[in-house]
Amino acid sequence: MTSATSKAVFPLHDDFVPRVARWFHALSDETRLRIVDRLSDGEKCVCDLTDLLDAAQSRLSFHLKTLKDAGILKDRRDGRWVYYYLNPAVVEDLTQFVCSLTACCQKLNKEVSSCCE
């Protein structure tokens, strides 16, 4: 038994659907995926990301806010700089959702196996 199957995800609870939709929407944009990609090896400030992604500051600020509002990212201020980083709790919630869906697929295929194995 893995954590991914420890809660009943499907069928979805009505209250859960909007939250999940926001996670997926936050990750549905290429710029935001590239932000997440850059943060996958550690936190970055906005000016780091403008350099790494060659994108305007206001544009990144918009996307960072979108990711933060969805819970995917968190931020912390250090002097002039604001550092953004992945929010492990929400990333794990998202992972559990997707792993549960995989488990459903496997069950439908009459395979007896658990997530990520």
Partner DNA sequence: TCGACTCATCAAGATTCATTGATGGAAAGA
Partner DNA sequence: TCTTTCCATCAATGAATCTTGATGAGTCGA
Using CB under 7 A, pick the residue from 36, 55, 101, 115 that binds DNA: 55
Does 56 participate in binding DNA (rule CB under 7 A)? Answer: yes
Positive or negative, the CA dihedral 39, 43, 46, 51 is: negative
Q: List Cβ neighbours of 16 (8 Å cut-off, separation of 6 or more).
A: none
For the chain, the maximum distance between any two Cα atoms, rounded to a whole number of angstroms, is: 56
Q: List Cβ neighbours of 58 (8 Å cut-off, separation of 6 or more).
A: none
Does 61 participate in binding DNA (rule CB under 7 A)? Answer: yes
Does 10 participate in binding DNA (rule CB under 7 A)? Answer: no
Footprint of a second copy (CB under 8 A): 2-4, 10-12, 17-18, 20-21, 24-25, 27-30, 33-34, 36-38, 40-42, 85-86, 88, 91-92, 94-95, 98-99, 101-102, 104-106, 108-109, 114-117
